[in-house]
Structure 1
Amino acid sequence: MKIRKYLELTNKRKCLTEKSKLTDASTIGKVITRNITHWRIADDICQHGEDFVLAHLKYPPNTPIYVYTKEVDQYVSKSVINRGGQETTNVAIIVDYMKRFPNAVFLDIGANVGVFAITLATLGFRVIAFDCQIGNAARICSSMKAGGLTDKLTIVHNAVSNVHQKVSLRTGKQNIGMTWLVKTQLGKPTVDTVSLDDLLEIYDFKQAVIKMDIELSEVKALTGAFNFFQQVRVEAILMEFLESPIESKFGEKVLDFMKSHHLKPNDTNKLNEWEFNKWDTHDILFVRQ
């Protein structure tokens, strides 16, 4: 009897996975999410909220983007509302590399309200934007629809890690972009984690450019991307590089990963480009050697 129940449960899970199998075409213009077993399209997340603030990016000119109020988000949203952009130098770097590799997909890992993602999609590139905050995913979805980008953009509402688990989110005061993953805690919002390797269940990418800004979870994200980097030619990664108090030997682990996948720091203006302790910036571009 136990064996029969086990087989019935296994078959049920298999059928559920088969029914929910997604493809590249079926995910364009959608919010998707993955739990421990399978991906699904999350139309319930793509809902426009009354508290969404409509702003416009200066580049590309007059691009609509939905953000938070200045009071809720004193950093990215306030900058977009007041100046029409955020991290303009880094956005320009990504735009440059996507123009060099126009057939690549741009992965915006830690998309926030989507400044990078919306910019690149508006310029005509294929974009997949990841964010663990449901409010961010919903705003990117509204921006996608407002800008007519449903043929270019997919939004993934998950945290990126190396294991499948449910985690809680801790967010900085008036700073939506500063969100950490913590063990599940009562009363805090939760989200499922995915790995970059999980993308291979849906996509058959040949080439990619990546921006990664996920508040000290970069090592876990890279650890869960071995197969992805084996199958996809990653041309460049722009990442926030900060020593982590929770990840031992953060710098060494990141650089070991980059070296093993033929990526190196682009320009540190130092005698030894691998001496990360001497770097004078936290935003590091790794490029294919």
Structure 2
Amino acid sequence: MTDNDLQAQLQSIERKLDRALNELEFVKHRTATYLGDNVGLTYLVDETPVYVNTDDFGCPANFINGGRYEEEYISILRSFRKPRSVFLDIGANLGVFSLRLAPMLRHGRIFAFEPNPRIHDLFARSSFLGGFDPTIRILPFGASDSEREVSFHVPRDHAGGGAIGSGGASDGDQFTIQVKRLDDWLPQDLRVDIVKIDVEGHELAVLRGMQRILDRSPSVAVLFEKLGTHTGIEADICALLEPMGLKLHLANGTRLEPVTGDSFAGKAGYFLATREDVIHGELERDFVNIFGVDLNLRHGALHADDRYVLDAATVSEGEVFFYGPYWYLARGTYRIELIGELSGQMRLELTERFGFGVQSFLLGNGRTAVDVAVHRDLTKFELVGRSAGSPCALQLERIKLTRLG
């Protein structure tokens, strides 16, 4: 066999393996089990188990058909995440936002609000099965601007469209739920960092009921949905947010577009409200930060401000400094950047599922960032820092992963 023949055979084998992997990915992301009584168990794209109401054509169908749902908004929220962040998931539905962010908030807290009893129960099962109960607290009431009982209408086959009042609809279920002011219910010293509001037209009342929370939370980022244009609530939302320094942006994919009060009424979709010193001018929000507390440390120490510090030392070549965080990383091209100070050299490895190598890089001598192509979703990725055989000192503020495409 000639070298050309051998090369052609290897290329053929590689094509077959690529095809097999693609087909395996399709099957893996569409695994579901019907449990009876219109309840199923399936998996989100990061392999988190989730119970769904199978008679619903909304988000449950997306969960079963690949496990992806509003990925761009999840990316925006996680870009504001810090290890000890408090996340309010208002209008949680089956809890996809909470379930996806929970692995990143093991040191933080999530308060999720879902007043629909059936959906609340399914979400609670998912949280328990995923091991997130220490992080996620699911509340069986809605948020509003006063504490009262209200009529709640859930359209047939679309629990995610549940809204206060009937909306003139005759089909579906109508029942009574309780709503509360979050300013009155949440601890008076609680500061929040991330808020998602999806309440089918009740957004203004929710914001009015949490003004004190927003005012005392300097790093808060609020993602909320506005269902249509010229809804009549736009001026009131601006009047509420502007005195607190919260600026509006339209979420266009993962990019934020600044919105003025005049143009707000003519736009619909998801909007983000935050302060300028929180957004830091970074309008493209498809990134995530990994802090020292998110990592497992073998050498060095974590300081009170969450900086990871490794003093210069000679260790055996290849010895591990840190590893983690075992999160989900979608396929794509990424820039991995060490934010801090690096003296000497170290090896940084991108691996999956507890040590299966993807790529390895040598950092140091002025090089603190690398670009890497990730050809398939990594369900539990980790970054491993190793000795490169020479003394290395590192003061790490964070590792930033930015998706380039």
Asked whether the equivalents of residues 211 and 238 of structure 1 are also in contact (C-alpha less than 8 Å), the reply is yes
Structure 1 pair 122–136 and aligned structure 2 pair: CA distance change class (3 A)? farther
1:209 equivalent in alignment to 2:194: yes
> Of residues 143, 150, 159 in structure 1, which corresponds to 2:126?
143
> Of residues 205, 223, 248 in structure 2, which corresponds to 1:265?
248
Where 1:83 maps in the other structure, the secondary structure is coil
- Segments of structure 2 that go 5 or more residues without pairing to the other structure are 1-34, 167-172, 251-255, 277-405
Asked whether the equivalents of residues 241 and 282 of structure 1 are also in contact (C-alpha less than 8 Å), the reply is yes
Give the aligned residue type for 2:66.
R
1:222 to partner: Cα distance: 1.2
1:278 to partner: Cα distance: 4.0
1:92 to partner: Cα distance: 1.1
Q: Per-residue CA shift, 1:79-129, capped at 9, x if unaligned?
A: 11112021111111111111xx33220101011100001111132342111
Give the aligned residue type for 1:193.
V
Q: In 1, distance between residues paired with 2:259 and 2:274? A: 18
Aligned twin of 2:88 = 107
> Of residues 211, 215, 220 in structure 1, which corresponds to 2:205?
220
1:65 to partner: Cα distance: 1.1
1:265 to partner: Cα distance: 1.7
Counting only pairs closer than 5 Å after superposition, residues 148-227 of structure 1 correspond to structure 2 as 148-182=131-165, 188-200=174-186, 202=187, 204-227=189-212
Asked whether the equivalents of residues 249 and 257 of structure 2 are also in contact (C-alpha less than 8 Å), the reply is no
Structure (1 or 2) with the greater strand fraction: 2
Asked whether the equivalents of residues 103 and 207 of structure 1 are also in contact (C-alpha less than 8 Å), the reply is no
Give the aligned residue type for 1:228.
I
Asked whether the equivalents of residues 248 and 260 of structure 2 are also in contact (C-alpha less than 8 Å), the reply is no
Q: In 2, distance between residues paired with 1:272 and 1:190? A: 37
Asked whether the equivalents of residues 208 and 232 of structure 1 are also in contact (C-alpha less than 8 Å), the reply is yes
Q: In 1, distance between residues paired with 2:182 and 2:193? A: 12
1:57 equivalent in alignment to 2:40: no
Where 1:168 maps in the other structure, the secondary structure is strand
1:232 equivalent in alignment to 2:214: no
Counting only pairs closer than 5 Å after superposition, residues 26-45 of structure 1 correspond to structure 2 as none
Where 2:84 maps in the other structure, the secondary structure is coil
Where 1:275 maps in the other structure, the secondary structure is helix
For CA contacts below 8 A with separation 6 or more, give which structure has more relative contact order. 1
Q: In 1, distance between residues paired with 2:137 and 2:48? A: 18
Asked whether the equivalents of residues 76 and 86 of structure 1 are also in contact (C-alpha less than 8 Å), the reply is yes
Asked whether the equivalents of residues 51 and 126 of structure 2 are also in contact (C-alpha less than 8 Å), the reply is yes
Aligned length: 230
1:51 to partner: Cα distance: 4.2
1:204 to partner: Cα distance: 3.2
> Of residues 61, 73, 93 in structure 1, which corresponds to 2:56?
73
TM, length-normalised to structure 1 = 0.72
Task: Point out the more displaced range, 253-262 or 144-153.
Answer: 253-262
Q: In 2, distance between residues paired with 1:140 and 1:233? A: 30
> Of residues 264, 269, 275 in structure 2, which corresponds to 1:276?
264
Aligned twin of 1:36 = none
Give the aligned residue type for 2:263.
E
1:234 to partner: Cα distance: 5.1
TM, length-normalised to structure 2 = 0.52
Aligned twin of 2:112 = 129
Structure 1 pair 205–143 and aligned structure 2 pair: CA distance change class (3 A)? same
Q: Per-residue CA shift, 1:47-103, capped at 9, x if unaligned?
A: x99643111111xx211111110xx210100011112021111111111111xx332
Q: Which has the larger radius of gyration?
A: 2
Structure 1 pair 272–81 and aligned structure 2 pair: CA distance change class (3 A)? same
Structure 1 pair 75–273 and aligned structure 2 pair: CA distance change class (3 A)? same
Where 1:256 maps in the other structure, the secondary structure is helix
Q: Per-residue CA shift, 1:129-177, capped at 9, x if unaligned?
A: 1112111211111011100111101001112111111112111231111
Q: Percent identity?
A: 26
Asked whether the equivalents of residues 248 and 259 of structure 2 are also in contact (C-alpha less than 8 Å), the reply is no
Q: In 2, distance between residues paired with 1:107 and 1:270? A: 23
Structure (1 or 2) with the greater helix fraction: 1
RMSD: 2.6
